Amino acid sequence: MSVAPETAYATITVEPLSPTIGAEIGGVRMGGDVPAQQVAEIRRALLDWKVIFFRDQDVPVEEHIAFGRLFGELEIHPFTPNLEGHPEVVVIHHNERSTSGQNDWHSDVTWRLEPSLGSILRARIIPPVGGDTLFADMHAAWKGLPEPIREKIDGMTAVHSFTRVFGHGLPEEKQAEMREQYPDARHPVVRTHPETGARSLYVNGAFVSHLEGVDEVEGSRLLRLLYRQASIPEYQCRFRWRENSVAFWDNRAVQHYAAFDYLPHTRRVERVTIAGDKPY
């Protein structure tokens, strides 16, 4: 599939993985010295395809961080393991001793009052088979809902909480302390993208606790229906990792799912996350 002339690029190549989501990008070396024109084209490709991929990015971690900073301020995650000496880098490491992975559909850090713009994830150790990551186009997922459901959820608010994932095992006092720093966040069920204007479903089973002002039974039923939209293959692309492959996704427009199907092999990835703004 070729890129339409109106979305042609001068400094990068773009090979789509599906009609609406996912493209592999060529001609880029990740680092802090990427020319301004190429940064602008990478930004445009991210908006066009929602998640973009780079291969063969064998660069020092400092260049991973510097590349991320070209797109905005980087977050420091308060709950996940970070790379020693580099608090901006989240380390996700699983091996034969792991009992679970990130195998659920979600958007990152939606429990923040201002959730992330996006993440740049690099593969460091990849199993011989398995460990793919799937991405879902949540604009397409919203468009695919029956019109009465779209009308019903328009204007609804969902409550997001870190406790649903990161509260497990935290002592009560520590949980209360973290709640002071990261209170429950209220976000629209249907989010408007601040750059493209596209509307997308913005609820996920990892962090949403309930729909505000909706009967609990009815709210749970409705959320289950909305969560299922991410699992429809027509809205997805799937990425097969290799060592030093990179995925850069727009957290405002997609959900992702890391398949946990590679034990007893090891999978290690490292991520920097770009700070975002308040959803509306």
SS3 of residue 241 by DSSP: coil
- Please report where in the chains the tokens 């229906």 appear, as a residue: 225
Q: What is the pLDDT along the chain (280 residues), one digit of tens a residue?
A: 344 434 689 999 999 999 999 999 999 999 999 999 999 999 999 999 999 999 999 999 999 999 999 999 999 998 888 898 999 999 999 988 887 766 789 999 999 999 999 999 999 999 999 999 999 999 999 999 999 999 999 999 999 999 888 877 778 888 888 888 889 999 999 999 999 999 999 999 999 999 999 999 999 999 999 999 999 999 999 999 999 999 999 999 999 999 999 999 999 999 999 999 999 9
Tokens of 33: 């010295």
CB–CB of 52/42 below 8 Å? yes
Residues 6+ apart with CB under 8 A from 228: none
Please provide the size of the chain in residues.
280
114 vs 225: CA distance, rounded Å: 25
Positions annotated as catalytic residues are 106, 108, 256, 271
109-112 contacts at long range (C-beta below 8 A, 24 or more positions apart): 109/75, 109/77, 109/251, 109/273, 110/160, 110/185, 110/187, 110/202, 110/204, 110/206, 110/207, 110/208, 111/160, 111/161, 111/162, 111/182, 111/184, 111/185, 111/207, 112/182, 112/185
Count other C-beta atoms under 10 Å from residue 199's C-beta: 17
Residue 70 belongs to what H/E stretch? none
Please name the helix (run of DSSP H) or strand (run of DSSP E) that holds residue 122, with its range, or none.
Answer: strand 118-125
d(CA 87, CA 84): 7
pTM: 0.92
